[in-house]
Amino acid sequence: MKIMKRTVLLLYGGVIAAPLYIVFISMFKSSQSFFASPLGWPKPFTLNNPITLFREQPMLQYFLNSVEVTFSTVLLELLLSTLIAFAIYCFGGKISAIVFALFTAGLIVPSQVNMLPIYSLSHKLGWTDHHYGLMLVSVALLMPVSVFMIAGFMKLLSHEIMEAASIDGAGEWQLYARFALPLSAPSIAAAATFLFVLVWNDLLIPMLMLNGKSKLTLPLAMLQFRGEFVTNYPMLLTGVVVTAIPMTVMFLFLQRYFVAGMMAGSLKG
Amino acid sequence: MRNRKLLWLFLLPGLLLYLAIFMYPTVTGLFYSFTNWDGVSPSYHLVGLDNYKDTLTSIVFRKALFNNVKFMIAVVLAQTAVSLGLALLLVKNHRIHVVLRALFFFPAVLSSVSVGLIWSFVYDPSLGLINAALDRLGADAWMQNWTGSTHIALYAIAFVQVWAHAGQMMIVFIAGLQTIPEELNEAARIDGAGRWQIFRRITWPLLAPSATIVVAYTTIQSFKAFDLIFTMTDGGPNYATEILTTYIYHTAFASYAFGPASAGSVIFLIVLSVLTALQFRLLRGNRIAYS
């Protein structure tokens, strides 16, 4: 039984790790050695691929674009939805129920359904090819998930503490900043990592809204590389590694929040 | 609370953005589905239900819908089985279990575009890992053009979807397994129950809520798939991997038929809503208690 268990885990580990490993070592191969032996150890070991990629492609620009779009989207998303969730928490009664239902109704509508009207709306508004346009659209589209998650966390805060603080003269703003935010910080961190993964990796919305080469985010840039480097797998795979590095590093350090965030995300459906 | 006006101020920025950029487009999308708009010209006409008639009778649309269903069934069966199996093997909090859980979860953190490009390479007929392995094992008769064959391509992508997300669903199962008190298993063991009996009589019934979540989530996720298929095959070869989302995208942006594409979106949304409603019923009717 033990041997069977180990064999299964080893096999599955291989299925997960082998592609990742091969992609990683391809980064250090010259084109010739790659084509001679795509799966072999890099010989000679070279850093030419990442160097060429950053020199000949605006890779740094793409990287910074992704960082800018992701950070601003997630921050604005968190700000707006914590405020909304706090208001839902405080209002109580019918208003809360209606507002909450209004936001969560959007959970059913995926962005693939909205892509045409959003494309034409952002054209009309002149948002196409601007990062702020992409940010605003992404924030709006993620609002149902984010409000759903954060309102769920805030629901668990104690009403007694808040009433006591309120009697002591704390206003709504103070209750939000000094009470609701700090007390739900771990859950907000989980929601934040979840949103981070979604925005950093998003393809569809950036694809609808960006076309200027200097504006592209990493997933879009990767697709464009595929067109340019049809025969140059090592270069393409180097791009994959570069795109994955930030999420991998974050995952290694913040694993707990990643898992918690994705759990909350999957429970929402 | 005393200051309701201030609370409305908390609510309004997000609410207005949401109504303007999410709800309004959803409604206009519904409207476009009754027009012959091409997405760019200033004028268009109402055409009634023509778009719906054309879409529902289109061979490509039907093929896409059918592919959606095939893809969904394949992913749901495989992903539920794999993630449950992994969870049963990795439920203890031993260090090696925790490390393996992290490794198996990791692909979920990568973008679908990255996953798609990685697997395009793994599946590559001449350079890829799989054909090389088959060749070395002497099974060269099984070597394939994995994403280029109309029979295999859809399932090859379903495999990648499971590769990327089974680890995430494993975590849901592990969370469920860890709520089952050890005394229950202990008692059953003392009463002489075998492993299979324990699984069949205790673990599985108590795991039902987690299983429902995994099945429901996987159903919706796989039905909405887009990025992976767009990256790996873009619907080809010969529409073998065309699903509703890629159909909508192609109809709108390759054929500039916004009206029919919108009709496709509305039909897609209706099917998805039915699936979601079923999911809610399942989730509600599946609470099990033990004491």
Q: Is B110 on the interface with A (CB under 8 A)?
A: yes
CA of A82, closest CA in chain B: separation in Å?
9
pLDDT of residue B285: 62
| CB-facing half-sphere around the CA of A151: CA atoms within 13 A | 27
Crossing angle (nearest 10°) for helices A93-105 and A131-154: 130
B25 Cβ under 8 Å from any chain A Cβ: yes
Output the pLDDT for position A87: 93
The one-character DSSP state at A212 is S
Residue B1 has pLDDT above 70, yes or no: no
Nearest to A223 among B1, B90, B231 (CB): B231
Neighboring chain B residues of A248 at a CB cutoff of 8 Å:
106, 109
Q: Which residues contact A17 (CB under 8 A, 6 or more apart)?
A: B103
Q: Are the Cβ atoms of B129 and A99 closer than 8 angstroms?
A: no
Which parts of chain A sit beneath pLDDT 50? 269
Total residue length of chain A = 269
Position B2 scores a pLDDT of 58
In chain B the first and final C-alpha atoms are separated, in Å, by 39
Q: Does B226 touch chain A (CB under 8 A)?
A: yes
Tell me the pLDDT band of B256, cut-offs 50, 70 and 90: confident
Could you identify the residue written with the tokens 């920025």?
Answer: B13
Q: Are the Cβ atoms of A240 and B272 closer than 8 angstroms?
A: no
Statement: residue B291 has pLDDT above 70? no
Residues of A in contact with B39 (CB under 8 A): 116, 119-120
Contact B278, A122 (CB under 8 A): no
Residue B38 to residue A70: CA distance in whole angstroms:
32
pLDDT class of B186 with cuts at 50, 70, 90? confident
CA dihedral over A45, A46, A47, A50, signed as positive or negative? negative
On whether the CB atoms of residues A239 and B121 are closer than 8 A, the answer is: no
User: Nearest C-alpha of chain A: how many angstroms from B183?
Assistant: 22
Residue pair B14/B244 in contact (Cβ under 8 Å)? The answer is no
* Cα dihedral B24/B229/B109/A219 (nearest 10): -70
Chain A segment 35-94 residues within 8 A of B by beta carbon are 35, 38-39, 80-81, 83-84, 86-88, 90-91
State phi, psi for B46 to the nearest 5 degrees: -75, 135
What pLDDT was estimated at residue A269?
43
CA distance B123 to chain A (A): 10
Mapped onto helix, strand or coil, the DSSP state of residue A5 is: helix
| Mutation for testing the A interface, residue in B2, B3, B10, B199 having most A CBs under 10 Å | B10
**CA A40 to CA A261: how far, in whole Å?**
37
CB-CB under 8 Å, B269 with A117:
no
Return the pLDDT at A267.
64
- The answer to whether B271 and B245 have CB atoms below 8 angstroms apart is no
Q: Is A163 on the interface with B (CB under 8 A)?
A: no
Closest alpha carbon to A109 in B26, B232, B120, B180 = B26
Q: Which residue of A has its CA nearest to B96?
A: A9
CA of A254 vs chain B CAs: smallest distance (Å): 11
Question: Are A263 and B172 an interchain contact pair (Cβ–Cβ within 8 Å)?
Answer: yes
What is the model's pLDDT at position A130? Answer: 92
Q: Which residues of B touch A84 (CB under 8 A)?
A: 10-11, 14-15
Q: Give this complex's ipTM.
A: 0.91
Residue with tokens 């990767």: A222
Picking from A192-206, B16-30, B100-114, B190-204, which range would have the lowest pLDDT averaged per residue? B190-204
Enter the pTM of the model: 0.92
Distance CA B63, CA B162 (A): 22
Q: Which residues neighbour A227 within 8 Å (Cβ) at sequence distance 6 or greater?
A: none
Of B8, B110, B171, the CB nearest to A263: B171
CB B248 within 8 A of CB A112: yes
Q: Could you tell me what percent of chain B has a pLDDT over 70? A: 96
Across the A:B interface, residue pairs with CB atoms under 8 Å apart total 239
Q: Do B117 and A166 make contact, defined as CB atoms within 8 angstroms?
A: no
Which chain A residue is nearest to residue B215, measuring alpha carbons? A269
Q: How far is CA A61 from CA A192, A221, A237, in A?
A: 24, 10, 18
Taking contacts as CB-CB distances below 8 angstroms, the residues of chain B near A9 are: 89-90, 100
Q: Which DSSP category does B35 fall into? A: B
At residue B287, the pLDDT reads 54
C-alpha span between B213 and B172 (Å, rounded): 8
**DSSP, res A92:** -
A223: which chain B residues are within 8 Å (Cβ-Cβ)? Answer: 113, 231
**Residue in B28, B118, B248 closest to A112 by CB:** B248
Question: Over the stretch B134-145, which tens digit does the pLDDT of each residue have?
Answer: 888 888 778 888
Give residue A69's pLDDT.
97
Confirm or reject contact between A14 and chain B (CB < 8 A). no
